[in-house]
Structure formats: C-alpha cells, structure tokens
Amino acid sequence: MDRSLGRRGEERAARWLEGKGWRIVKKNFRTRRGEVDIIGEDGPDLVFVEVKSWQTLGRSSLEYGIDQKKRRRIAQAARLFLRQHPDYEDRRIRFDVVLIRRLDREPELVENAFETEWDE
C-alpha cells in the first residue's frame, strides 16, 4: 500500500474519532516489536486502533488484513505503551479497527475487532 494513502487514512480516522467524542492520546506509537496507529480514549476504555485504508475490502476481510502475527505486534506495542504510561493501567483495554474505503462517505468502526492474549 502507498504510505501516503495510509497516513491520510490514519489522519482521517483520528479526526473522525475525535468527532465522535474520543480523545486521541497518541498517533503512530512505534516500538521495535510493533506499532499502533491510534491510541485513544472512548469513555472509560483505552483503545488501540488499527487503521485499514482499503478500496475494495470490507469487514469480512479483517482476518486477512490483520493476521495473528499483526495482532501479536499490536499487542506487544500496547503492552509497552501501558508500561510507559502506568496511569492507564486500570483502564479497560479494547482493540478496534477503523476501515477507510475511498468510496465510503464515512469510515467504519469495528469495536473489539480482535482480542489478544497478553501472555503471548
């Protein structure tokens, strides 16, 4: 995928989530082990968000687009973020996906898109 398309999708997703009342904590949190596109607060939940900018694929393609390896890398980055920011340790954690398709007028939020084992 074109990197600039991905960045534009992430920016659009962040603005859209803010419009829904989210507070964006961090964008593009990167570690040696993985990365998280957006970390945000949705009410009491701390949410780690993967943004997918797909022209033709939809919700049914999440397994294809976010395989077990990708999930593990997101979870590893999330664990590191929580270690670095202990003030969030008592929050409920969620892993969401925002789908951005050029033809759609509005992004689609897939809440609890996946779960992860914290012991992996």
Residue 66 lies in a domain: yes
- Cα separation, 101 vs 111, whole angstroms: 17
Residue 51 lies in a domain: yes
The answer for residues whose C-beta is within 8 angstroms of residue 87's C-beta and 6 or more apart is: none
Q: By residue range, what is the domain housing residue 69?
A: 3-110
Residue 118 lies in a domain: no
Domain count, the chain: 1
Residue 37 lies in a domain: yes
Q: Which pLDDT does position 119 carry in this prediction? A: 47
Cα 83 to its chain centre, rounded Å, is: 18
Q: What CATH number has the domain bearing residue 78?
A: 3.40.1350.10
Residue 55 lies in a domain: yes
pLDDT along the chain (120 residues), means of 10: 71 95 97 94 96 66 73 93 94 92 76 74
Cβ–Cβ < 8 Å for 12, 100: yes
Q: What is the pTM of this model?
A: 0.87
- Cα separation, 28 vs 1, whole angstroms: 17
Q: Which pLDDT does position 116 carry in this prediction? A: 76
